[in-house]
């Protein structure tokens, strides 16, 4: 408080660094709880997901997915020719990201009652954040908490020549507006596979996916990556396993890519999709004894474990727990509740993280993989059936794939699930509920799926267990 009892305009109950989905959710919840909240953002309000990741990538994928669905239905397949309309897709993408204008996002933050502070925030001491600006720096002070929600950035590995050639990172891959003739992608994770298929559907003649390991989507069940690789082969995407890029060189016709097997080829565009790192450099972590460039380790209350005083929190990608937008938002809600004095934990972080890869086939998973469950000492086994064992798969148009659940045999509950195939993302929440609710298989048997829907695969899974 200043002299005379007036409120210090630079003192808040909560300061949030980062206005992406996680930061926005913290601010909205703490402000709704009556806490004076400031949100500091140096880029676009709405963050990576809104402008360069989830929203634009799924918008780029959607037209091709619709055409693929039509081609699976005999009565519609004959009417489908050619690629997706790239120009119209780019226009839809630009509309979906509000033409990279964050006016609406900024208005939403202010509408919560929070103050939006533009600039690059840097922690300078306990509960204190400095924000440089054109009119001089502001020093913000938090009475209760500082929440770091600065997200993550693409990792560009030190490939010889990478700094001398034009290349895409994930942002360029989702914001580009011309279809190249040849696209090479290094990586085998979510960004790599989604962008490989999106750009193939948009008309790229040659897509080459360079994978250091032996399969796609190494964090998923092995069968998921195998089925996706087979689908890519059918679609004309060239997937090369157990290869690495030795060097890159600019040539008149594009970028020459030399591989560790001695071969080389030229691509018009080269996308590096080899992972992400937390945005913890340049935000002042050294001033409070933390190491920049690494995730901020937190407990299940989202408090930083290596900072005394219980005033620093971290949510979303920056804590390294789960680099998924919906999990960042979940953590944000739990974090805000803790700041508001409630007993809240991010239980799902360790038990039920749902994830979807929006390729065709889709890969949807939640909870523990079979190998991970066994590594934990759980007496686990799998129940596995083909997706087309459900009548809905044929009614919807020759939907191939796999449904698998992991069962804790001692407790007789599902602890993990993976689905592959068209539209299986819509099966995932039922699995998530079964895991979070710890529903016994005997009780789950009474959850009757409608006929003929894809959800009838749940009946087939339980029948595989002898019900």
The pLDDT assigned to 1 comes to 42
User: Of 350, 371, 395, which marks where a domain is finished?
Assistant: 350
- In this predicted structure, the answer to whether residue 396 has a pLDDT above a threshold of 90 is no
Whole-angstrom distance, CA of residue 65 vs CA of residue 34: 44
Q: Report the C-alpha gap between 38 and 131 in whole angstroms.
A: 12
CATH classification at residue 39: 3.50.50.60
**108-130 b/e (C-beta count within 10 Å ≥ 16 → b):** bbeebebbbbeebbbbeeebbbb
**Are 287 and 125 spatial neighbours (Cβ–Cβ below 8 Å)?**
yes
- Which whole number is the average pLDDT over 148-159? 97
Task: Give the neighbor-by-neighbor strand order of the sheet with 264-267.
Answer: 245-251, 254-259, 264-267
Whole-number pLDDT of residue 81: 85
Kindly indicate the confidence band of residue 133, based on its pLDDT and cuts at 50, 70 and 90: confident
- 367 contacts 417 by C-beta, under 8 angstroms: yes
Q: 398: pLDDT confidence band, cut at 50, 70 and 90?
A: confident
Rounded to whole angstroms, the Cα distance separating 356 from 210 reads: 22
Structure tokens at 108: 């939403």
pLDDT band at residue 120, thresholds of 50, 70 and 90?
A: very high
* 183 within a domain of the structure (yes/no): yes
- What is the pLDDT, as a whole number, of residue 7? 54
Backbone angles phi, psi at 355, to 5 degrees: -145, 145
Question: 335 Cβ partners below 8 Å, 6+ apart?
Answer: 26, 147, 301, 302, 313, 315, 344, 346
In a domain, 192, yes or no: yes
Query: Do 343 and 427 sit in the same domain of this protein?
Result: no
For Cα atoms 232, 233, 235, give the angle at the middle one, nearest 5 degrees.
65
Same domain, residue pair 182 and 287 = no
Sheet hosting strand 413-421, strand order edge to edge: 355-357, 362-367, 413-421, 402-408, 380-386
Q: Is 98 exposed, middle or buried (0-12, 13-18, 19+ CB in 10 A)?
A: middle
**Is residue 331 very low, low, confident or very high in pLDDT (cuts 50, 70, 90)?**
very high
Helices 54-71, 86-96: crossing angle, 10 deg rounding? 140
Pair (253, 337) in one structural domain: no
Is 83's pLDDT higher than 90? no
204 and 172 within one domain: yes
**Cβ-contact 349, 327 below 8 angstroms:** yes
- The answer to whether residue 190 is domain-embedded is yes
Q: Please compute the mean of the pLDDT values over residues 111-133 and round it to a whole number.
A: 96
Phi, psi of 430 (to 5 degrees): -65, -40
Q: Is residue 89 part of a domain?
A: no
| pLDDT interval class at 8 (50, 70, 90) | low
315 and 404 assigned to the same domain? no
The string of pLDDT tens digits covering residues 247-297 is: 999 999 999 999 999 999 999 999 999 999 999 999 999 999 999 999 999
The tens digit of pLDDT for each residue in 160-209 reads: 999 999 999 999 999 999 999 999 999 999 999 999 999 999 999 999 99
> Rounded mean pLDDT of the chain?
96
Residues 343, 442: one domain? no
In the chain, % of residues over pLDDT 70: 98
Gap between the Cα atoms of 409 and 380, Å rounded: 6
Tell me, yes or no, whether 30 and 133 share the same domain: yes
Residue 105, CA distances (Å) to 141, 143, 230, 335 in order: 24, 26, 40, 21
Nearest to 427 by CA among 401, 395, 409, 408: 401
- Whether 257 is in a domain gets the answer yes
- pLDDT reported for residue 6: 44
| Cβ atoms of residues 384 and 403 within 8 Å | yes
Question: Does residue 87 belong to any structural domain of this protein?
Answer: no
* CATH code for the domain of 377: 3.30.390.30
Burial group, residue 50, by CB count within 10 angstroms (0-12, 13-18, 19+): buried
Signed CA dihedral, 81, 84, 85, 86: sign only: negative
Residue 336, pLDDT score: 98
Band of the pLDDT at 134, cuts 50, 70, 90?
confident
Which of 242, 274, 306 corresponds to the end of one domain? Answer: 274
- On whether both 130 and 270 belong to a single domain, the answer is no
pTM for this prediction: 0.95
Residue 78 lies in a domain: no
In terms of domains, do 446 and 407 share one? yes
Q: How many domains does the chain have?
A: 3
Please report the pLDDT score of residue 303 as a whole number.
98
- 235 shares its domain with 368: no
Do 229 and 291 sit in the same domain of this protein?
no
Q: How far apart are CA 401 and CA 138, in angstroms?
A: 55
Residue 166 neighbours by CB distance under 10 Å: 12
Q: Which domain holds residue 453?
A: 361-463
Q: Is residue 118 part of a domain?
A: yes
* Shared-domain flag, residues 15 and 109: yes
Q: Where is the domain boundary, 318, 350, 382?
A: 350
């Amino acid at each position: 408080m200043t002299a005379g009892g007036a409120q210090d305009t630079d003192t808040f109950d909560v300061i949030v660094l980062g206005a992406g989905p996680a930061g926005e959710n913290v601010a909205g919840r703490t402000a709704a709880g009556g806490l004076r909240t400031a949100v500091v953002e140096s880029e676009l309000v709405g963050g990576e997901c809104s402008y360069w990741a989830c929203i634009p990538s799924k918008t780029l994928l959607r037209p091709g997915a619709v055409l693929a669905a039509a081609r699976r239905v005999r009565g519609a397949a004959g009417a489908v020719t050619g690629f997706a309309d790239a120009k119209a897709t780019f226009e839809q993408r630009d509309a979906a990201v509000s033409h990279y204008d964050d006016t609406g996002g900024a208005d939403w933050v202010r509408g919560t009652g929070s103050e939006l502070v533009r600039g690059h925030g840097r922690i300078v001491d306990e509960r204190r954040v400095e924000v440089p600006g054109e009119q001089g720096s502001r020093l913000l002070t938090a009475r209760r908490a500082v929440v770091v929600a600065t997200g993550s950035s693409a990792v560009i590995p030190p490939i010889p020549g990478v700094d001398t050639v034009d290349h895409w990172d994930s942002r360029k891959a989702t914001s580009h507006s011309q279809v190249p003739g040849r696209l090479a992608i290094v990586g085998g994770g979510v960004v790599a596979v989604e962008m490989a298929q999106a750009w193939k559907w948009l008309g790229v003649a040659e897509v080459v996916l360079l994978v250091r390991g032996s399969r796609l989507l190494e964090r998923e069940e092995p069968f998921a990556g195998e089925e996706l690789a087979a689908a890519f082969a059918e679609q004309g995407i060239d997937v090369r396993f157990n290869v690495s890029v030795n060097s890159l060189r600019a040539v008149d016709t594009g970028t020459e890519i030399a591989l560790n097997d001695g071969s080389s080829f030229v691509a018009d565009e080269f996308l590096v999709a080899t992972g992400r790192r937390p945005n913890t450099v340049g935000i002042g972590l050294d001033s409070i004894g933390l190491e920049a460039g690494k995730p901020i380790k937190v407990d299940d209350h989202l408090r930083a474990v290596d900072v005394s005083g219980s005033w620093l929190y971290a949510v979303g990608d920056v804590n390294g727990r789960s680099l998924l937008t919906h999990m960042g938002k979940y953590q944000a809600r739990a974090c805000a509740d803790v700041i508001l004095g409630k007993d809240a934990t991010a239980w799902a972080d360790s038990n039920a993280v749902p994830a979807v890869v929006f390729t065709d086939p889709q890969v949807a998973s939640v909870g523990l993989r079979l190998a991970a469950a066994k590594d934990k000492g759980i007496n686990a086994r799998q129940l596995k059936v083909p997706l087309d064992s459900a009548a809905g798969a044929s009614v919807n148009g020759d939907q191939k794939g796999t449904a698998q659940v992991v069962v804790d045999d001692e407790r007789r509950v599902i602890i993990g699930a993976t689905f592959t195939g068209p539209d299986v993302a819509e099966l995932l929440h039922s699995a998530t509920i079964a895991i979070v609710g710890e529903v016994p298989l005997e009780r789950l048997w009474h959850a009757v799926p409608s006929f003929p829907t894809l959800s009838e695969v749940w009946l087939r899974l339980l029948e595989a267990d002898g019900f």
